[in-house]
Chain A
Amino acid sequence: MARWISEEPGEETALLEALGISSTDALFTDVPKKARIGRMGIGPAREEPEVVAEVDRLLGRNKPLAGFSSFLGGRITSRYSPAAVDSIVSRSEFYTAYTPYQAEASQGMLRTLFEFQSLWVELTGLDVANASLYDGATAAGEALLFSRRLHEGSRFLVPESLPWEERSVVENYASGPGLKVEGIPYDDRTGKLDLEFVKNAVSKKDVFGLLADVPNGFGHVDDGVTELKSILGDIPLVVAADPLSLSVLEAPGNYGADVVVGEGQGFGISPSFGGPLLGLFACRKEHVRSAPGRIVGATLDSEGRRAFALTLVTREQHIRRSRATSNICTNESLMALAFVVYASVVGPRGLARLQSNLAEKARTLASGLGQVEGLKAPRFDAPYLSDFTIELARGSAEEFLDRLRRKKVLGGHSLRDPRPSTTAPPERILVGITEATSEKDVAKYVKSARGAVAAVGRSA
């Protein structure tokens, strides 16, 4: 602790003397006595080795993924990040900087964010991206509010298959202004969106936007999304896209998306128990003045050199206050750096190769699990990339996963909303693949699943 606050001999005395006071007590006479507190009960200071030992002791109670065959997937992934990414992210000129308010002193971060914005534009086929939001779910929430600025109405449609966490976050962005989030049903066999439902909903006139996710919450690619814009007309279409999938899938801007949001964690950012993550947001240029968050623009310096600055700030809270397009101040700039370094190191075709390899492995796993009696794998008859959904005929998903865990297999995560108030849906599990998934892991999962299905079936 001492090293972080200077304790040079005579230093504090000199500061006090310059102010003509003998103790720092004189600097707190403006805090009324009745507002003072006594001891907080925090405990004594610890030296650096003790702090390291204590944190390592606590973290030692975790069981790291390396000890398991892990099939955890979804919006957050444990995919590999090349060492070069963390090497750049660890440069303290980047990580110890604040928001680049002083453009001249911050060209490094501003340039990086401009390149990041450009990359998301290229992947999505839209025109403009912002400099990041907190995570994919809050980006979806901001997209809802953005859509409402573009179109009248009170109802926002999202797939029933959207992960429950994301649905809850989006509902919280809707609830302030009194907007409603409604689920779009899906086909029980394919998981595809019910486009007839969308047509009916739109004909009732009060829909102001629709969000569809690619791949969807079950991991599947639904080509029905390409038909949504013709149904919606001038109602904004929001696509929540996995960035890696966009290396092989059509850019959503080309099938009518007005906004593309996404979770960027899979590009060079460690899972870190769920944060920090990276919210991605892109839109069309004509709507940029309604967009949330920081945006970096290119301009010139006084000598005509290319330079960059935060721009279109009149949208923002520090200028527009209660009429701002969003309350965003902090974003995830450092994660945006990781994202653009990752994509640049791997390269556009490298990303596509990675996605292709993962999809190949996922198919191997699905066909293996598909042989297990009492398990429907994949649950939906639809194409998939890195993730897919399986369903138990009998017994609870939690118990099934727990039995697998005891065999050192993390078999995915339950899609159930854990809040007790919600009705229990079928026992579905999202299963995901990473580079680390080996043939041995797949074989182990299939073998353990056989035993686990039988066991949970008996206890059901």
Chain B
Amino acid sequence: MTFRQARWDEPMIWDLGPSEGGGPLPEVSGIPEKMRRRQPARWPEISEVEVVRHYTRLSQMNFGIDTSPYPLGSCTMKYNPKVSELLARRPGAAGVHPYQPEATVQGSLEVLWKLERILSRITGLSDVSLQPAAGAHGEYAAMLMVRAYFRDQGELAERTEVLLPDTAHGTNPASAAMAGFTTREIPSKEGCVDVDELQRAVSKKTACFMLTNPNTAGLFESDILQIAEVVHASGAMLYYDGANLNAILGITHPGRMGFDVAHLNLHKTFATPHGGGGPGAGVLGAGEKLGPYLPIPRVVKEGRKFRLDYDRPKSIGKIKTAYGNFGLDLRAFAFILSHGEEGLQHIARRSVLNSNYVAAKLGKYLPRPFRTLVKHEFVLSGTPLKERGVRTLDLAKRLLDEGVHAPTVYFPSLVDEALMVELPETESKRELDGYIAAFERAIGDSPENLHAAPRSCSVTRVDEVRAAREPLLSWKDLRGAAKAETP
């Protein structure tokens, strides 16, 4: 174990300098008396270098892809090319205001238009909108489109239910429920959709079936064409959650598999950085039936000119300010140009090769609950660890001590003590072998050490139960707690 994360005794920013007594606020004439702020907002006034040092130190207490492999299953943490960062900061990209006249933003519109056409080919769906800010946001917009479609068909009163497999990402049922649907989970058989169960579940009540393929167990749903038939025979829509598109780029696509509507995550498959939780960018692709319902505006090309088209009577309207997360769209565009047709398929092939290689090695230590041919990610069960009084969580924390990020844990929930590992195409064999060796050391360590992990991060095991039981959610709370302690 040679890894040591920075461990700065860094104060909170408000402890770096005084946040009161700086003198009065400037007068702003005309502000109504009742609306005038009396005291400056409570926040420290410190020098720029102190602010820079503070956040630089905090950055050193954070894992990123640039510091270590980050094998979070279903998150596709691949290398974020630096050239994309360079381009997104060009004044012609970052400095453009969304309300500039169309004549002055022809370049930005062309980037959006071109990316939409490319993503239409990648998804096999005729119409694409880049407006959603994230995957879940795309799911929600799609559910609204499904509603609007069935309203126009006169079937909305009847079609009230969205079906999903029990392996679905939590965002799927949450998005469907937000859109006013009831949700029902279909039990899986050996990690995949049980088509007989699906057949029994679909009815005139079904509005949509939401599916991730490959699914969250890392398995390709090989019955997909049959699934599409069953869903369409009931008149319902088939939704593609694109979180796991990486594994099938250039091999198959949602359109060919029979999906009516899909979201993609540019921050997964197309390597835009995820920023510690966001921003993301969710792409919405739709076929003939749902295409007219996509959010406005749509980018259209007329001759050599590009224009924003708001004349889409069936559109659900807007789901976000402006036209989507352009900064990320541009990064994804550069990524796709760099790879080209063959390169995109190579992504799928290499990520699936990496995944199967690591799965085969780690399968010696922990059981693999389903079939062994996996796609870009795989699931292990940490159940045998329990015999030693160790849980999956302990193993995950112990892996941090090796200087690698932990896998996704306790998901999918149909696997007991699940670990879900994804090492995308940008990890070399050397990194994979390093990860395997780290895993071997971690799982072979004593229960005491596993329980005590991590020891090499900037803090030791964090008490998350306490965080939830006695919520301290802001500086204001901390001040309150300090006051309560000192009578």
Contact of A128 among B252, B322, B473 (CB under 8 A): B473
> Is B317 within 8 A of A168, CB to CB?
yes
> Which residue of the partner chain A has the closest CB to B70?
A98
> Is A337 within 8 A of B140, CB to CB?
no
> Is A248 within 8 A of B37, CB to CB?
yes
A356 to B25, CA, bound (A): 9
> Is B463 within 8 A of A301, CB to CB?
yes
Chain B residues bordering chain A, tally (CB within 8 A): 208
> Is A93 within 8 A of B59, CB to CB?
yes
Q: Which of B379-387, B424-432, B438-446 contacts A (4 or more CB under 8 A)?
A: B424-432
> Is A123 within 8 A of B464, CB to CB?
no
Asked if A460 CB lies within 8 Å of chain B CBs, one says no
Contact of B464 among A45, A249, A299, A340 (CB under 8 A): A299
Asked if A302 CB lies within 8 Å of chain B CBs, one says yes
A59-B93, A121-B475, A349-B23 are known contacts. Are A108 and B14 too (CB-CB below 8 A)? no
> Is B319 within 8 A of A169, CB to CB?
yes
Interface 0/1 of B86-119, CB less than 8 Å to A: 1111111111111111011111101100100010
Asked if A200 CB lies within 8 Å of chain B CBs, one says no
A410 to B101, CA, bound (A): 8
Contact of B426 among A4, A129, A313 (CB under 8 A): A4
Q: CB within 8 Å of B: which of A48-101? A: 48, 50-52, 54-56, 58-66, 68, 70, 72, 74-76, 78, 82, 84, 86-88, 90-101
- Report the minimum CB–CB distance from B220 to chain A (whole Å): 4
Chain B residues positioned under 8 Å from A309 (CB to CB): 462, 464, 467
> Is B97 within 8 A of A78, CB to CB?
yes
Asked if A433 CB lies within 8 Å of chain B CBs, one says no
A65-B96, A94-B64, A321-B174 are known contacts. Are A15 and B353 too (CB-CB below 8 A)? yes
A30-B222, A136-B321, A250-B34 are known contacts. Are A298 and B478 too (CB-CB below 8 A)? yes
> Which residue of the partner chain B has the closest CB to A251?
B37
A62 to B96, CA, bound (A): 8
Chain A residues bordering chain B, tally (CB within 8 A): 202
Q: CB within 8 Å of B: which of A259-292? A: 263, 270-277, 285, 288
- Report the minimum CB–CB distance from B260 to chain A (whole Å): 16
A84 to B137, CA, bound (A): 31
> Is A168 within 8 A of B318, CB to CB?
yes
Asked if A423 CB lies within 8 Å of chain B CBs, one says no
Asked if A109 CB lies within 8 Å of chain B CBs, one says yes
Chain A residues positioned under 8 Å from B350 (CB to CB): 5, 12, 24
> Is B63 within 8 A of A344, CB to CB?
no
Chain A residues positioned under 8 Å from B250 (CB to CB): 37, 40
Q: Which of A174-182, A204-212, A368-376, A451-459 contacts B (4 or more CB under 8 A)?
A: A174-182
Interface 0/1 of A322-363, CB less than 8 Å to B: 111011111111110100110111011111110110010001
> Which residue of the partner chain B has the closest CB to A26?
B373
A331 to B426, CA, bound (A): 25
> Is A42 within 8 A of B341, CB to CB?
yes
- Report the minimum CB–CB distance from B250 to chain A (whole Å): 6
> Is B467 within 8 A of A334, CB to CB?
no
- Report the minimum CB–CB distance from A160 to chain B (whole Å): 17
Asked if A238 CB lies within 8 Å of chain B CBs, one says no
Contact of B320 among A59, A74, A137, A352 (CB under 8 A): A137
Chain A residues positioned under 8 Å from B67 (CB to CB): 92-93, 96
Asked if A413 CB lies within 8 Å of chain B CBs, one says yes
Chain B residues positioned under 8 Å from A299 (CB to CB): 462-464, 466-467, 472
> Which residue of the partner chain A has the closest CB to B123?
A40
Asked if B287 CB lies within 8 Å of chain A CBs, one says no
> Is A55 within 8 A of B87, CB to CB?
yes
Asked if B13 CB lies within 8 Å of chain A CBs, one says yes
A270 to B478, CA, bound (A): 32
Chain A residues positioned under 8 Å from B220 (CB to CB): 30-31
- Report the minimum CB–CB distance from B246 to chain A (whole Å): 12
Chain B residues positioned under 8 Å from A380 (CB to CB): none
A298 to B478, CA, bound (A): 8
Asked if B2 CB lies within 8 Å of chain A CBs, one says no
> Is B343 within 8 A of A61, CB to CB?
no
> Is A276 within 8 A of B464, CB to CB?
no
Asked if A106 CB lies within 8 Å of chain B CBs, one says yes
Contact of A104 among B85, B170, B310, B454 (CB under 8 A): B454
Interface 0/1 of B145-177, CB less than 8 Å to A: 001000000000000000000000111011111
> Which residue of the partner chain B has the closest CB to A344?
B51
A65 to B313, CA, bound (A): 33
> Is B41 within 8 A of A297, CB to CB?
no
- Report the minimum CB–CB distance from B348 to chain A (whole Å): 8
Q: CB within 8 Å of A: which of B336-373? A: 336-344, 346-347, 349-350, 352-354, 356-357, 360-361, 373
- Report the minimum CB–CB distance from B239 to chain A (whole Å): 14
Asked if A114 CB lies within 8 Å of chain B CBs, one says yes
Interface 0/1 of A213-232, CB less than 8 Å to B: 01000000101011000000
Asked if B31 CB lies within 8 Å of chain A CBs, one says yes
> Is A97 within 8 A of B276, CB to CB?
yes
Q: CB within 8 Å of B: which of A105-119? A: 105-109, 111-115, 117-119
A56 to B311, CA, bound (A): 31
> Is A247 within 8 A of B37, CB to CB?
yes
Chain B residues positioned under 8 Å from A59 (CB to CB): 87, 90, 92-93, 107-108, 111
> Which residue of the partner chain B has the closest CB to A272?
B327
Asked if A39 CB lies within 8 Å of chain B CBs, one says yes
> Is B95 within 8 A of A64, CB to CB?
yes
Asked if B60 CB lies within 8 Å of chain A CBs, one says yes
A103 to B405, CA, bound (A): 11
A395 to B274, CA, bound (A): 46
- Report the minimum CB–CB distance from A332 to chain B (whole Å): 4
Chain B residues positioned under 8 Å from A301 (CB to CB): 459-463
> Which residue of the partner chain A has the closest CB to B54?
A344
> Is A330 within 8 A of B30, CB to CB?
no
> Is A303 within 8 A of B460, CB to CB?
yes
Asked if B397 CB lies within 8 Å of chain A CBs, one says yes
> Is A305 within 8 A of B460, CB to CB?
yes
> Is B321 within 8 A of A326, CB to CB?
no
- Report the minimum CB–CB distance from B74 to chain A (whole Å): 10
Chain A residues positioned under 8 Å from B300 (CB to CB): none
> Is A249 within 8 A of B37, CB to CB?
yes
Asked if B178 CB lies within 8 Å of chain A CBs, one says yes
Asked if A402 CB lies within 8 Å of chain B CBs, one says yes
Chain A residues positioned under 8 Å from B464 (CB to CB): 103, 299, 309, 311
> Which residue of the partner chain A has the closest CB to B344?
A42
Q: Which of A150-158, A414-422, A442-450 contacts B (4 or more CB under 8 A)?
A: A414-422
> Which residue of the partner chain A has the closest CB to B105?
A62
What would be 12 A-B contacts, judged by CB atoms less than 8 Å apart?
Answer: A32-B224, A43-B340, A66-B91, A76-B99, A82-B48, A112-B55, A131-B277, A247-B37, A318-B170, A322-B177, A327-B140, A328-B136
5 nearest CB pairs, A to B: A274-B322, A334-B275, A108-B62, A45-B340, A274-B98
Known: A135-B321, A276-B278, A329-B169. 18 other contacts (CB 8 A): A18-B357, A35-B256, A37-B250, A58-B114, A60-B92, A84-B51, A86-B89, A100-B62, A273-B326, A274-B326, A276-B328, A300-B463, A318-B411, A322-B177, A324-B174, A327-B139, A345-B51, A347-B43
